[in-house]
A and B are shown apart, each in its own frame.
Chain A
Amino acid sequence: MKPSSGSRVDSLASDSDAEAALVARVVARDQSAFAELYGLYRRRLARFLGRFLGSPQVIDEVINDVMFVVWQDASRFELRSKVSTWIFGIAWHKALKALDRQKRDAPPLPSPTEIARPDEAASALEIREWLSHGLDGLSPDQRLVVELTFFAGCSYQEIAQIAHCPVNTVKTRMFHARHRLRDILVSLDTVAREKAP
């Protein structure tokens, strides 16, 4: 079987080139390029960090810290990785620090088993809440792999760069994450079947 024409991969490559060009302009202290890069990443970072950090204020602070580092260290960015890999790597590093600070005060989260399985009448919102609780049951390392794969669209090689671990570790963490989410995935399957006309 031949690989597809790769339009998704081509599109990712051109996005990546455009972002690398923006970073090059940021190195030259072009504030409009920085504003553009900020606009591209602000929402993605908010959503990514929102999976790990509860408070919107903490999320804003961490985004501010991340983009501050992007501005300061733009000249150190190497084209060996994608801009998104670099920025999400910074974000993950900052998120871990924020998580450490939060750990003492955070109330315990309910485990996924305490959340009722959505029935056939479940709304999309209920299903997403259920999934969200399932994701909360993963370890931070497992969750990072799941988020970067399904939310940020990273390859396993990029995730290994961001998490500073071997690619096989990424695959192992995904394996365990999928195992822990298995009940949810199967139930989503059932709900989807029951909701089908």
Chain B
Amino acid sequence: MTSKDLPGDFEQRALELLPWYVNGTLQGEERELVGHQVLASLTCRKELERLRRLHQLMQRDDAEAVATDREFDRLMARIHASEASPQSAAAVARRGFPWMPYALAASVAASASALLWWGTLTPSASPHTYETLTNPAPADAAAARLRVLFAPGVTGAEQRELLDSHGLTAVSPPAEDGVVTLAFPGSADRAAIVAALKRDPRIRLVTTPPGSDGP
């Protein structure tokens, strides 16, 4: 407030600041100005009442159903998968941990694996024959494979993080029912990967297709 301000200017400034007077975040001189104008001006008082009503309406509980536990489990699974992947280790290392060189080396390996994963999703880059659940496995299915169905709401980014964390590679696009066929990494402990996937809340179903030499 300055001596040059006219009474109308005070009212205009108070009207402008009223929303934050209502939500209790206005402080100091501005709070004093609005408080004074609310006492002095009928226009300010009317507007204050309206905004208070708006505030009350917007604060009321929506009584929404929040599946907090399930969603938190999903988030933690995503975080664990991300941190289990060497990419994340590199990210942590960048923040200054002493094992940074090892993590960076691992990050390179993980990036290569991620590129392979994306490569397999690109038809022109993929040498694999697509298969469906109803068709027999193609003749080149000598490698161990498994099929997974992701839980509803799991995003593409989460799926990629999860598969990367186990070194799994998609060998076909998702079937009509959402099932994705995956290949194990060469020297993996397949039983351990399947067990981990079965425990993961982001996965609804894990199966080993017939004809595969999976676990």
Interface residues of A (CB under 8 A from B): 1-4, 6, 8-9, 12, 31, 35, 38-39, 42-43, 46-47, 50, 57, 60-61, 63-65, 67-68, 71-72, 75, 127-128, 131, 146-147, 149-151, 153-156, 158, 171, 174-175, 178, 181, 185-186, 188-189, 192
Contact = CB atoms under 8 A, between A and B. Distances in A.
Dominant secondary structure at the A interface: helix
A19 B24 CA distance: 19
Contact of B78 (A2, A68, A178): A68
A150 B35 contact: no
Interface string B27-55: 11001100110010000001001110111
B54 A3 contact: no
A2 B66 contact: no
A64 B71 contact: yes
A60 B158 CA distance: 13
Most chain A beta carbons < 10 A, residue from B22, B55, B71: B71
* Residue picked from A1, A43, A75, A146, most chain B C-beta under 10 Å: A1
Contact of B71 (A42, A153, A178, A185): A42
A150 B53 CA distance: 10
B54 to A, nearest CB: 6
A192 B71 contact: no
Closest 8 CB pairs of A and B: A155-B25, A8-B24, A185-B50, A150-B58, A150-B55, A149-B19, A151-B58, A153-B23
Contacts, number: 115
B92 to A, nearest CB: 9
A9 B32 CA distance: 14
Interface in B67-117: 68, 71-72, 74-76, 78-79, 82, 91, 95
B155 A64 contact: yes
A171 B15 CA distance: 11
A86 to B, nearest CB: 16
Q: Is the interface of B mostly helix, strand, loop or mixed?
A: helix
A3 B27 contact: yes
B138 to A, nearest CB: 34
A75 B95 contact: yes
Contacts of A12: 24-25
Interface of B: 16-17, 19-20, 22-28, 31-32, 35-36, 39, 46, 49-51, 53-55, 57-60, 62, 64, 66, 68, 71-72, 74-76, 78-79, 82, 91, 95, 152-153, 155, 158
Contacts of B66: 42-43, 46
A155 B74 CA distance: 33
Contact of B153 (A4, A60, A189): A60
A149 B20 contact: yes
A61 B153 contact: yes
Contacts of A43: 64, 66, 68
Nearest to A42: B68
A156 to B, nearest CB: 5
Given A8-B24, A35-B72, A128 B57 contact: yes
Contacts of A149: 19-20, 23
Contacts of B39: 1
B27 A6 contact: yes
Contacts of B53: 185, 188-189, 192
Contacts of A147: 58
A181 B60 CA distance: 19
A12 B152 CA distance: 37
Nearest to A11: B24
Nearest to B74: A64
Given A1-B35, A155-B26, 15 more contacts: A1-B36, A3-B31, A42-B72, A46-B64, A64-B78, A65-B155, A68-B78, A72-B82, A131-B54, A131-B57, A147-B58, A149-B19, A149-B20, A189-B50, A192-B53
